[in-house]
Amino acid sequence: NAGVTQTPKFQVLKTGQSMTLQCAQDMNHEYMSWYRQDPGMGLRLIHYSVGAGITDQGEVPNGYNVSRSTTEDFPLRLLSAAPSQTSVYFCASSTYYGQGARETQYFGPGTRLLVL
C-alpha cells in the first residue's frame, strides 16, 4: 500500500514549456485534489475530483488542466509554464460518500517546480 505517490519530485521548466505532474493513489479513494503551496500563502486548491470523469476548479485553476479517467490517477497539466507557477505542488486523496469527504485527506510527498 503506497498511499499517494507523486512524480517527479523536482522539475525545472523554461517559460512556455508544458508538463504533466503525476499523482496516483492505491486506496480506492474517490476524492482527489491538487494544491500549490507558496511561502506565506498556505495550501491553495487548484482542481479537484469527486470521482472518475468528474473534475472541478478550485481557487487558483488558471494555467492548469486536469482529467480523471481512472479512480487511481489524477494528473495535473501545466499548459504553458510561467514563473508564477514556481511552487510546491501536493496531491491529496480521501474517501467520499456523496455528502463530502468523510475521512481526512492523505497527501503525497509533493513536487517542487521551478519555472525559469
Partner 1 sequence: EDKVVQSPLSLVVHEGDTVTLNCSYEVTNFRSLLWYKQEKKAPTFLFMLTSSGIEKKSGRLSSILDKKELFSILNITATQTGDSAVYLCAGHNSGTYKYIFGTGTRLKVLA
Place of cell 496531491: 91
Nearer to partner 1, 41 or 114 (CB): 41
Q: CA nearest 36: which of 80, 3, 84, 1? A: 84
Q: CA nearest 31: which of 63, 12, 54? A: 54
- Distance, CA of 57 to CA of 34 (rounded, Å): 10
Nearer to partner 1, 28 or 42 (CB): 42
40 counts as binding partner 1 under rule CB under 8 A: yes
Interacting stretch for partner 1, rule CB under 8 A, among 10-18, 19-27, 48-56, 79-87? 48-56
Place of cell 468528474: 54
Which residues have a Cβ under 8 Å from the Cβ of 13 and sit 6 or more positions away?
Answer: 19, 78, 81, 113, 114, 115, 116
State the minimum distance, in angstroms, from the CB of residue 28 to partner 1. 17
35 counts as binding partner 1 under rule CB under 8 A: yes
Interacting stretch for partner 1, rule CB under 8 A, among 14-22, 65-73, 78-86, 105-113? 105-113
Which residues sit at the interface with partner 1, rule CB under 8 A?
31, 33, 35, 40-45, 48, 50, 56, 58, 90, 96, 99-101, 103-110
